[in-house]
Amino acid sequence: MVYEERMRIILFGPPGVGKGTQANLLAEKFHIPQISTGDILREAVHKRTPLGLKAKSYMDQGALVPDQVIIEIIRETLASEKCADGFILDGFPRTVGQAEALDAILRDLHIKLDVVIDLAADENEIVRRLSNRLTCRQCGAVYNLATNTLPQDNKCPKCGGELYQRDDDKPEVVRNRLRVYHETTAPVRTYYAQQGILRSVDGMGTIADVQQRILNSLPGNRG
Ligand code: AP5
């Protein structure tokens, strides 16, 4: 299979559908950075930076952090050297305002998005994935109690860091995150469908199955 160089990809979809998991695999495959606004915010919360202090109350409730805050993070990140050869956006944009701001940033940088992958899965499966998710406090690796065999000592198999359940994976917060997704984030799909770069991908099945579907839907796939 032949893929275009300098891929610029958005992974889009509801909480828990597998965006982070798939973004990580694509990042390894194409040697481009995974830019996860959720990871950036969680690190800021953990380090108690001004950004983290501002973001925490929104995240704890499963609400969106204000656009202005997120857009500034993305502006700085995309302009940095590490994104020069492409990137995968995971969890951004989540509002039409963020999508419009991203277009303006990309225009300024004279670059174009290649594709927006819209992952979908049943809501029951999403709740199951989130309630079984464990995240490493140190390296951010993500596991699932339903599919991974994890050591008894609750340490990350990759780095030995502590595995924990995210506060926003509690059932009542998950419900709010799904509501926010349907009300505020889902309309972003129409925005990219109108630009002709949205590709819908079934997020059900194994991680490997989903990865293959994503690879098949990337532009430049002539296989
Ligand atoms: P964020 O961290 O982005 O959360 P999210 O979008 O809700 O997505 P998740 O990280 O929960 O899930 P995912 O789709 O990445 O799934 P994963 O691969 O982990 O955001 C958190 C918060 O930050 C937001 O609520 C908001 O407050 C704030 N925020 C972030 N970005 C923002 C923005 N742009 N604007 C405003 N606010 C923002 O998979 C889930 C589990 O399923 C894992 O255990 C995984 O191992 C497992 N799994 C994955 N794929 C499969 C599969 N195929 N089969 C079985 N299990 C699977």
- The fold adopted by the segment(s) 8-32+85-217 is Rossmann fold (3.40.50)
CA atoms within 13 A on the CB side of 115: 20
Give whole-number Cα distances, 41 to 8, 53, 75, 177, 193, in Å.
22, 10, 15, 16, 28
Q: What is the amino acid identity at position 15?
A: P
> Which residue's CA lies nearest to atom 43 of ligand 1?
133
List, in order, residues 6 or more apart from 151 with CB less than 8 Å away.
Answer: 157
State which ligand 1 atom lies nearest to the alpha carbon of 24.
18
CA 9 – CA 115 distance, rounded (Å): 5
Residue 191 belongs to what H/E stretch? helix 187-195
Q: Which residue is catalytic, options 8, 42, 94, 213?
A: 94
214 lines ligand 1 (CB under 6 A): no
Question: Helix, strand, or coil here: 1?
Answer: coil
**100-107 contacts: CB < 8 A, separation 24 or more?**
100/191, 101/67, 101/71, 101/74, 102/71, 102/74, 105/71, 105/74, 105/75, 105/78, 105/79, 106/78
Q: Annotated catalytic, 94?
A: yes
CA 133 – CA 143 distance, rounded (Å): 6
The tokens for 93 are 């944009």
Q: Where are the domains of the chain?
A: 8-32+85-217
Please say whether the dihedral angle defined by the alpha carbons of residues 69, 72, 73 and 78, taken in this order, is positive or negative: positive
Q: Annotated catalytic, 6?
A: no
Q: What is the pLDDT along the chain (223 residues), one digit of tens a residue?
A: 555 568 999 999 999 999 999 999 999 999 999 999 999 999 999 999 999 999 999 999 999 999 999 999 999 999 999 999 999 999 999 999 999 999 999 999 999 999 999 999 999 999 999 999 999 988 889 999 998 888 888 899 999 999 999 999 998 999 999 999 999 999 999 999 999 999 999 999 999 999 999 999 999 863 3
For residue 171, is the peptide bond before it cis, meaning its omega torsion is within 30 degrees of 0? no
Q: Are strands 8-12 and 87-90 parallel, antiparallel or unpaired?
A: parallel
Q: What is the pLDDT of residue 3?
A: 55
51 lines ligand 1 (CB under 6 A): no
For 20, counting Cβ atoms within 10 Å of its Cβ (0-12 exposed, 13-18 middle, 19+ buried), the class is: buried
The tokens for 108 are 């300024």
Q: What is the pLDDT of residue 14?
A: 98
CA 145 – CA 61 distance, rounded (Å): 24
CA 184 – CA 211 distance, rounded (Å): 26
Q: What is the pLDDT of residue 153?
A: 87
Cross-strand partners of 199: 117
**pTM confidence score:** 0.95
